[in-house]
Amino acid sequence: MDQNPDEPSKQRLLRALMDVQRRRLRGAGTPPRGLTPPPPIEMAKTQADEKEKEVPKEKPKATTPPPATTPERSHPATLSKKTITQTSSRRKSSATPKKVPKKKVPIKREVLAEGDTVQSEAFTWRVIKLLGSGGFGDVYKVAKHNDPDKTESAMKTEMVLGDRRLLRLKIEVMVLMKCHEQTDPNHKQHFVAFVDRGKTAKFKFLVMGLVGKSLEDIRRDILGHNYSRSTVIQCSLQTLAAVQDLHGLGYLHRDIKPQNYAVGLGEKQNTVYMLDFGIARKFTVGDTKEVKIARAKVSFLGTVRFASRACHKCLEQGRKDDLESWIFMVFELFDDAHGLPWKRAPRNKVVPLKEKFFKNQIPRCYKVVPADFKRIVTYIDEMRYADEPDYVYITNSLNAIAKENKIDLRRKLDWIGVVPKPVKKRRQKEEVSSDNRQSGSESD
């Protein structure tokens, strides 16, 4: 058999390849020497497996993923309503909560019915009807129960809450009692009679003389138009006399306005009475005529439209401030629509307009009054806190104005003999400011 000449060379090549493979296996931590090495194909697979362990496999990307398994991207525009609500609520909870102002809870009180009785130390009072209501009390027409004296009176009540702010009725009782201690009847003719006082478990009460409608109600509900010049001058003289008499007792009213003056009934319908002393204050020291030292700062008290400039500036009020309010009232009695330019002005415009008023810089409001009223306005403007007003000068000026303008002061007052027209009930917001918190006590 002939030998292939190329056979030795093939064997040598095979041995060389096997030697190279063995050296590789030794360097890679292959089995110890003497073991039969795996064939080259199997070794290639083992190395590939080790590489797969070192590098994690990536999932094959699908060329066209099925729609059912494709996850939707979260985007604000595609969030569900529930998700949006939850997100917004989380944002709100993380933000600083805003302070919500507390609502004023109205104080409930029982209103007395017709026929109810109220007992004082001296009398039993029977309620005839409700006349009006305020923030903390009511006013009733009453009469003595089972008594031959059928005289009707007014009972003013004030809730008992144990709070110092509810001292208005106490101040009013003090002032009325002081008024009627006067020996001169001329000095108490513009104050209603003090009749009785008392206290129940729910309210305090004051019984006083019954009067008619206020100057504001008469013009609005009975006349339906402005007063005549004669009636305004007559009312000015009577209301000024009431201010003078109150000051003579050492008290300031601090809320002069048409609503706090009312006319008498029957034979007294020519008389104008001063009402509502709830925020009055004693301005003298004890029983002397010495004026108290003015405090540096005082809370606002009164009604914005008629309050004095010092009142707006939270300064101590004196007798001149009652006269400022009085002159504002007189101008409005002349003309309800044009007498006071600040009547419907914003709060921050009121004081500048009042300053212009005293400087005679608002001509239109002076057109509604006789020309000589300017001298009364100037006189009041020049007064200072502790000054005592010259009431005689103002009274003489009013009489002179009437004479110069041929105004007959003997003419009957506009409401005499006028039959009241039926008026529709309307809810009127009382024009007051922060004085509802105040008591009119020594600290106010």
Q: Which one-letter DSSP state was computed for residue 267?
A: G
Where does the chain hold its CATH 3.30.200.20 domain(s)? 117-208
Average pLDDT over residues 61-68: 53
Cα distance between residue 8 and residue 10, in whole Å: 5
| pLDDT for 314 | 96
Entry pTM: 0.73
| pLDDT for 161 | 76
Would residue 147 show up in a list of annotated catalytic residues for this protein?
A: no
Please indicate if the annotation marks 156 as binding a ligand: yes
Coil, strand or helix at 364: helix
| pLDDT for 82 | 47
| pLDDT for 411 | 97
Cα distance between residue 302 and residue 317, in whole Å: 11
Task: Name the region of 41 (left: φ>0; alpha: ψ -120 to 50; beta: rest).
Answer: alpha
Q: Does domain 212-420 have CATH number 1.10.510.10?
A: yes
| pLDDT for 28 | 54
| pLDDT for 339 | 96
Length of the chain measured in residues: 444
Please pick, among 255, 276, 321, 435, the residue that the annotation labels catalytic: 255
Cα distance between residue 142 and residue 149, in whole Å: 12
Average pLDDT over residues 161-166: 60
Please determine, for residue 80, whether its predicted confidence score (pLDDT) is greater than 60: no
Select from 316, 183, 319 the least CA-distant residue to 251.
Answer: 319
Among the listed ranges 51-65, 94-108, 164-178, which one has the minimum average pLDDT value? 51-65
Which CATH architecture best describes the domain 117-208?
Answer: 2-Layer Sandwich (3.30)
Tell me, what amino acid is at 116? D
Cα distance between residue 163 and residue 50, in whole Å: 91
Where does the chain hold its CATH 1.10.510.10 domain(s)? 212-420
